[in-house]
Amino acid sequence: MSSQPRIAIDAMGGDEGVRVMMAGTALARRRHEGLRFLLFGDQAQIKAALDHHPNLRAASEIIHSDSVVESTDKPSAALRKKTSSMNMAIAAVKAGDARAAVSAGNTGALMATAKLALRTMPGVDRPALAALLPTLGDNDTIMLDLGANTECDARNLVQFAVMGAAYARIAFDLDRPRVRLMNIGTEEMKGTEEIRDAAAVLRAAESLPLSFEGFIEGNKIGSGEADVIVCDGFSGNVALKTAEGTAKFVTDLLRKAFTSSIRSKLGFLISRPAMHLLRHHLDPNNHNGAVFLGLNGVVVKSHGGANDKGVANAVHVAARLVEEDITRRIAADMAGIENLAAVASKLELSAK
Amino acid sequence: MSSQPRIAIDAMGGDEGVRVMMAGTALARRRHEGLRFLLFGDQAQIKAALDHHPNLRAASEIIHSDSVVESTDKPSAALRKKTSSMNMAIAAVKAGDARAAVSAGNTGALMATAKLALRTMPGVDRPALAALLPTLGDNDTIMLDLGANTECDARNLVQFAVMGAAYARIAFDLDRPRVRLMNIGTEEMKGTEEIRDAAAVLRAAESLPLSFEGFIEGNKIGSGEADVIVCDGFSGNVALKTAEGTAKFVTDLLRKAFTSSIRSKLGFLISRPAMHLLRHHLDPNNHNGAVFLGLNGVVVKSHGGANDKGVANAVHVAARLVEEDITRRIAADMAGIENLAAVASKLELSAK
């Protein structure tokens, strides 16, 4: 039984805490029968929540923790809470007791804790935060970095491309995911030197299991033209939040429009199934689960406001990445960036 | 008659060329009876288009130009086309024959031509591209820079704030517009050093005719919480395009949903007025007209795909900025950044 992969769950994070984390984990377990769980948090609360989920209880071990990382805690304060559910969940991955950790806690704290405990993989300078975004194409798109690194150089961007492609091969079952770099135009001379250098390296690195297809602009994120979109953490975070905000803006306008007259209210009632479809497609719970890529272990961030289904998605993301051993895959791909000397010489070339 | 303000129109730019530029300008003229126009482009084509707009013809002078800046022209190539409609329209502003220029041509070419001919105003290091975006609040929001400067330092961001506020005072008739800096969090320590330094300067500069209200994230662009949103040109361009792309994405989904069954088609027909309202609110033509701020003269970029109404909006933006003398206002405000020595010392402080 102990040979089955285990996932560490921070049961205390998120706006609604233990109940939602347990309900979501129980839901995810149904899709991954072989998984086992380590549940970190207040033992009494977890036990009470598990009363509703006997199947999860049978597959889990509860490990009591006596403190919680608050949403207002700075990363430095969170790091000092060694006996928090978040810290202990990450420590379990470090110790090899679990292969992945899932937390709905404070992103900055989770990132700091995970980086310090798990360290970056050989060949990776900095981890990146990656998430799935909906598109009009056949599959979602993976965007990274979403805020782990405010500033990035060309090496970072190339590494993000390799890590994102490894994730895309697993998430979308593709051999050579289409990778694009976010830029403010599609011509070769557009953007910063870092982006142009990263593009030069990716264009040359033909042995990598990805297909580099040049630049992409913000208006094409949802077009389905890329399986992986690579950007620095600042503009990635701005793009992600702008997309969320705009989707909400448009649906708010729509709601206003639909309640502006009796006639449009009637139309709304009749087309409710259509609206339901729209809401389903845009529901962030269906895309919940951002992954820190590039660490020695899988760490998944669930949105603080996620519901049962959202938490289940985040746990599912962790389970898939564990089952497909993303860490080993990224390590192999990193070795395949022909050799870093060649990359470096290319970068020096354009820096002249 | 020659004392009336004149606006130079590049009649040749844009996807549909002369016809739309003339129809739009004629439309704008109705809102600004006192304005006169200099129309640059192919004389025969302009004359033919003016047959439909006798009122505009009466208020205009045609100046023949024998070349056109193509959408594929690099800025360097565009600069060499001295007798292009774009170059000649900008030159008219430089010579004082017109107070503003409006063009739907290639953005990079327009920016390069305008910068070279008009130069930046005293006190401004770099011009910025600013546009109006729709919000759920009482007025639109002005966002800048949208792509004129790929990388920006703290001084640039502070200057953008001052220029954006001057624009907001005119566009929204406000005394102290609420200015926010785009960031990836709202806490003081978030973001790059450039952003934190700019925030420190703006917080201290109480004598400026603006109210600095801290950081804003991408999901709040349309919330109505800011009259001016300041960002570097890279993330501003990403945010603008992501917002456009997401709005299109959601309305595409909506169209799909509404045509997915007979029932939802019926609902769509009934609620058509509501959908019309939505489309009106999201129509980019209603927000057309991006302004290059910080030059010795007003230059407005109309979207290449704008229709008559869109061009009219761009010309209206130029007219308002001329009527309210934005260039003089910005110059006065720049002098009001207490003194640049104080700003510089603050920046050195945080750079330590």
Write the pLDDT tens digit of every residue in B293-310: 999 999 999 998 899 999
For the residues A219-226, what does the mean pLDDT come to? 94
Q: Does A53 touch chain B (CB under 8 A)?
A: no
Same fold, A6-118 and A128-284+332-351: yes
- Determine phi and psi for A180, rounding to 5 degrees: -130, 150
Write the pLDDT tens digit of every residue in B31-90: 998 899 999 999 999 999 999 999 999 999 999 999 999 988 989 999 999 999 999 999
Q: Does A192 touch chain B (CB under 8 A)?
A: yes
Between A and B, how many CB-CB pairs are < 8 A? 199
| pLDDT greater than 90 at residue A218 | yes
Nearest residue in chain B measured CA to CA from A218: B242
| Range of lowest pLDDT (A36-40, B154-158, B283-287) | B283-287
| pLDDT greater than 90 at residue A266 | no
pLDDT at A250: 84
CA dihedral B131, B233, B244, B105 (to 10 degrees): 70
In angstroms, the separation between the Cα of residue B175 and the nearest Cα of chain A is 27
Contact yes or no for A78/A86 (Cβ under 8 A): yes
A237 to chain B: which residues are within 8 Å by CB? 184, 217-218
In angstroms, the separation between the Cα of residue B150 and the nearest Cα of chain A is 6
| pLDDT greater than 60 at residue B349 | no
Q: Is A267 in Cβ contact with B274 (below 8 Å)?
A: yes
For the residues A230-236, what does the mean pLDDT come to? 96
Write the pLDDT tens digit of every residue in B181-214: 999 988 878 889 999 999 999 998 888 899 999 9
Q: What are the structural domain ranges in chain B? A: 1-118, 128-284+332-351
Q: How confident is the model at residue B339 (pLDDT cuts 50, 70, 90)?
A: low
Q: Is B272 in Cβ contact with A234 (below 8 Å)?
A: no
Q: Is B218 in Cβ contact with A278 (below 8 Å)?
A: no
Q: Is B268 in Cβ contact with A245 (below 8 Å)?
A: no
Q: What percent of chain B has pLDDT over 90?
A: 66
Write the pLDDT tens digit of every residue in B241-276: 999 999 888 888 877 777 777 777 777 777 676 667
For the residues A126-131, what does the mean pLDDT come to? 94
Q: Does A281 touch chain B (CB under 8 A)?
A: yes
User: What's the fold here for domain B1-118?
Assistant: Isopropylmalate Dehydrogenase (3.40.718)
For the residues B322-340, what does the mean pLDDT come to? 80
B260 to chain A: which residues are within 8 Å by CB? 273-274, 277
For the residues A3-12, what does the mean pLDDT come to? 91
Q: Which CATH architecture has domain A6-118?
A: 3-Layer(aba) Sandwich (3.40)
pLDDT at A207: 83
pLDDT at A118: 96
Tokens of A49: 């929540």
Residues 105-144 of A with CB under 8 A from B: 134, 136
Contact yes or no for B282/B251 (Cβ under 8 A): yes
Write the pLDDT tens digit of every residue in A62-95: 999 999 999 889 899 999 999 999 999 999 999 9
Write the pLDDT tens digit of every residue in A290-349: 999 999 999 999 998 899 999 999 999 999 999 999 988 888 888 877 555 455 565 554
Q: Does B186 touch chain A (CB under 8 A)?
A: no
Write the pLDDT tens digit of every residue in B94-128: 999 999 999 999 888 999 999 999 999 988 999 99
SS (H, E, C) chain A: CCCCCEEEEECCCCCCCHHHHHHHHHHHHCCCCCCEEEEEECHHHHHHHHCCCHHHHHCEEEEECCECCCCCCCHHHHHHCCCEHHHHHHHHHHCCCCCEEEECCCHHHHHHHHHHHHCECCCCCCCEEEEEECCCCCCCEEEECCCCCCCCCHHHHHHHHHHHHHHHHHHHCCCCCEEEEECCCCCCCCCCHHHHHHHHHHHHCCCCCCEEEEEECHHHHHHCCCCEEECCHHHHHHHHHHHHHHHHHHHHHHHHHHCCCHHHHHHHHHCHHHHHHHHHHHCHHHHCCEEEECECCEEEECCCCCCHHHHHHHHHHHHHHHHCCHHHHHHHHHHCCCCHHHHHHHHHHHHC
pLDDT at B351: 44
User: What's the fold here for domain A128-284+332-351?
Assistant: Isopropylmalate Dehydrogenase (3.40.718)
Write the pLDDT tens digit of every residue in A87-106: 999 999 999 999 999 999 98
A223 to chain B: which residues are within 8 Å by CB? 245
Write the pLDDT tens digit of every residue in A245-258: 998 888 888 777 77
B292 vs B317: CA distance, rounded Å: 11
pLDDT at B227: 97
B220 to chain A: which residues are within 8 Å by CB? 245
Q: What percent of chain B has pLDDT over 70?
A: 92
Residues 250-279 of A with CB under 8 A from B: 250-254, 257-258, 260-261, 263-264, 266-275, 277-278
Q: How confident is the model at residue B3 (pLDDT cuts 50, 70, 90)?
A: low
Q: Calculate the average pLDDT of chain B.
A: 89
Q: Is B245 in Cβ contact with A247 (below 8 Å)?
A: no
Q: Calculate the average pLDDT of chain A.
A: 89
| pLDDT greater than 50 at residue B144 | yes
CA distances from A178 to A144, B165, B347 (A): 14, 42, 42
Q: Is B247 in Cβ contact with A242 (below 8 Å)?
A: no
A79 vs A196: CA distance, rounded Å: 37
